Amino acid sequence: MHNTDSAPLTARRAGPLTGMAQVPGDKSISQRALILGALAEGETRITGLLESGDVHSTAGALRGFGAVLTQEGPGSWRVQGTGVGKWKSPETELDFGNSGTGSRLVMGAMATTAITAIFTGDASLRSRPMTRVVAPLTAFGVTYEAQGEKALMPLTLHGAKDAKAVTTHVATASAQVKSALLLAALNAQGVSRISQDALTRDHSEKMLAAFGAKITVSSREQVGEVITVEGPVRLTGCSVEVPRDPSSAAFAIVAALIVPGSQIELPAILLNPRRIGLIETLLEMGAKIEVVNRRTSGGEEIGDLVVRHSELKGVEVPPARAPSMIDEYPILAVAAAFARGKTAMRGLEELRVKESDRLDAVARGLKVNGVPYTIEGDDLIVDGHGPDGVMGGGTVATHMDHRIAMSFLTMGMASQNPVTVDDVTMIATSFPEYQDLMRRLGAEFMERL
Ligand code: S3P
């Protein structure tokens, strides 16, 4: 997949990275705050919202259902919701751009209201399987028309009338699928029971409780979780403070670890236990990451990070850790390239259905930059040759994937030769200020070599 207006960028070896990295609001929480705000009665006030392409696509779609969303200043939004079950059919098709989360959660949110909506998106989103969401939603009575076996967009979804509660197991390790079912359950009569083996991110559960949903969660490591939601429910608008995104912080963290002499600080980063697999892994690799001033904000754990350049060593990353760092494997692969020894990342099948086939995109990026690796099934094993062991010099195909672009720009900050990525426009879907923020820390980017 290619973006028609692509903008290549090159990163070259930088001096030490220093200073404060104020990364933007968490994407998952931002998406959920807008969606729950649009479902609730009354007003929801949001601060720290991520102002990015994905979040703005969701805001646009929610207006189509009748909610009133107003941006009052950067990151500061007011949402006037309709009440659960009161969304109307949008007059035009809904374009979710690059956003898998926005589109899939909204499918769930409209599934038990008798309305119809057409979902579409950019070339990347149109190639991503929607079966994983719409097939489980049929238990509530939805029907849909889409493209082929994978139910690709454009997809027309018809919400169910008088939906009844369901008991269902989510086989895919996906917070998006789980969340879609939880949102559908809000307007279904009775107690829905949704179980999942993997402990995927739990922001929907936490936020639903804060908006007044009747929700229970019981979860156990290695066993999984069972969530119940009783519907129909009235949600009440509330205040949401969005913490800073650990998945965006990941790029600055790894950059500081691999660029000699670096020391950076990242204030107020979300440290929800289901989101910090990368930090756990980097600590095992020998990273100097200090977490200070742990506290709670808006029902989520946060803390300030201090990160120093570190000598890293290869480690085993078990498949059970995947849900807590699912978006961080591309940047972990970059850290692993600068480590000594092999880093084995196991159980990466979900990477194949992200904004790109991330397993394949990472492998190709490593290859063109001279980093040895093997792929065994869905495992990626990177053979790191230490801080000076990455040749670089390659041009990486990003396949409309923001995280592939930021990961390989990070590689170029410490490799022998500069690294080019073929397109940086998609970075705006999750982290529009990435280039400015990294430049302020000392990174060097060039539009042309
Ligand atoms: C997300 C869940 C993850 C993640 C995505 C955001 C969410 O997807 O990759 O960037 O906000 O629920 P899956 O749930 O499909 O793993």
Q: For 423-445, what is the mean pLDDT?
A: 98
Q: What is the CATH number of domain 27-230?
A: 3.65.10.10
Query: Residue 4 Cα, ligand 1 centroid: separation in angstroms?
Result: 26
Candidate from 207, 324, 326, 426 with most ligand 1 atoms within 8 A of CB, to mutate:
326
Average pLDDT, the chain: 97
| Contact partners, residue 368, CB within 8 Å, separation at least 6 | 393, 394, 395, 396
Q: Poorest-confidence range of 133-137, 175-179, 380-384, 445-449?
A: 445-449
Examine the pLDDT at 132 and tell me if it is beyond 80. Answer: yes
Write phi, then psi, for 27 (nearest 5 degrees). -70, -45
Q: For 254-265, what is the mean pLDDT?
A: 98
Write phi, then psi, for 274 (nearest 5 degrees). -90, 10
Q: Which helix (H) or strand (E) holds 312?
A: none
**Pocket lining: 402 vs ligand 1, CB cutoff 6 Å:** no
Confirm if 78 and 70 have CB atoms less than 8 A apart: yes
CA atoms within 13 A on the CB side of 146: 25
**Pocket lining: 324 vs ligand 1, CB cutoff 6 Å:** no
Candidate from 174, 357, 401 with most ligand 1 atoms within 8 A of CB, to mutate:
174
- What is the end-to-end Cα distance of the chain in Å, rounded? 24
Which residues are paired to 342 by β-bridges? 383
Q: 3-state DSSP: the chain helix, strand, coil percent, rounded to 5?
A: 35, 30, 35
pLDDT attached to residue 449 = 60
Q: For 268-289, what is the mean pLDDT?
A: 98
pLDDT attached to residue 299 = 86
Query: Residue 102 Cα, ligand 1 centroid: separation in angstroms?
Result: 10
Examine the pLDDT at 5 and tell me if it is beyond 90. Answer: no
**Pocket lining: 326 vs ligand 1, CB cutoff 6 Å:** yes
Measure the CA–CA gap between 25 and 20, rounded to whole angstroms.
Answer: 16
Using one digit for the tens of pLDDT, what is the confidence trace for 65-110? Answer: 999 999 999 999 999 999 999 999 999 999 999 999 999 999 999 9
pLDDT attached to residue 448 = 72
Residue 327 designated active-site: yes
Closest C-alpha residue for ligand 1 atom 11: 28
Examine the pLDDT at 1 and tell me if it is beyond 90. Answer: no
Examine the pLDDT at 355 and tell me if it is beyond 80. Answer: yes
Query: Residue 175 Cα, ligand 1 centroid: separation in angstroms?
Result: 6
pLDDT attached to residue 337 = 98
Pairing label, strands 316-317, 373-376:
unpaired
Query: Residue 341 Cα, ligand 1 centroid: separation in angstroms?
Result: 30
pLDDT attached to residue 115 = 98
* Amino acid code (one letter) for 18: T
Examine the pLDDT at 298 and tell me if it is beyond 90. Answer: no
Give the model's confidence band at 4: pLDDT under 50 very low, under 70 low, under 90 confident, else very high.
low
Q: Which atom of ligand 1 is nearest to the CA of 247?
A: 10
**Pocket lining: 327 vs ligand 1, CB cutoff 6 Å:** yes
For residue 162, how many other CB atoms are within 10 A of its CB? 10
| DSSP characters over 397-445 | --TT-HHHHHHHHHHHTTSSB-EEES--GGGGGT-TTHHHHHHHHT-EE
Examine the pLDDT at 15 and tell me if it is beyond 90. Answer: no
Measure the CA–CA gap between 333 and 272, rounded to whole angstroms.
Answer: 22
Nearest-CA neighbor of 310 among 345, 286, 278?
286
Using one digit for the tens of pLDDT, what is the confidence trace for 212-228? Answer: 999 999 998 888 999 99
Confirm if 421 and 405 have CB atoms less than 8 A apart: yes
What length is written for the chain? 449
Give the model's confidence band at 55: pLDDT under 50 very low, under 70 low, under 90 confident, else very high.
very high
Q: For 274-291, what is the mean pLDDT?
A: 98
Place of tokens 């809904």: 94
Give the model's confidence band at 30: pLDDT under 50 very low, under 70 low, under 90 confident, else very high.
very high
Three-state SS at 268: strand
Closest C-alpha residue for ligand 1 atom 9: 327
Is the domain spanning 9-25+244-446 CATH 3.40.30.10? The answer is no
Using one digit for the tens of pLDDT, what is the confidence trace for 234-243? Answer: 999 999 999 9
CA atoms within 13 A on the CB side of 447: 3
| Contact partners, residue 73, CB within 8 Å, separation at least 6 | none
Domain boundaries, the chain: 9-25+244-446, 27-230
Nearest-CA neighbor of 350 among 175, 97, 99?
175
Q: For 36-49, what is the mean pLDDT?
A: 98
Global pTM?
0.98
Measure the CA–CA gap between 439 and 434, rounded to whole angstroms.
Answer: 8
Query: Residue 174 Cα, ligand 1 centroid: separation in angstroms?
Result: 6
Measure the CA–CA gap between 264 and 259, rounded to whole angstroms.
Answer: 11
- Are domains 9-25+244-446 and 27-230 of this chain identical in fold? yes
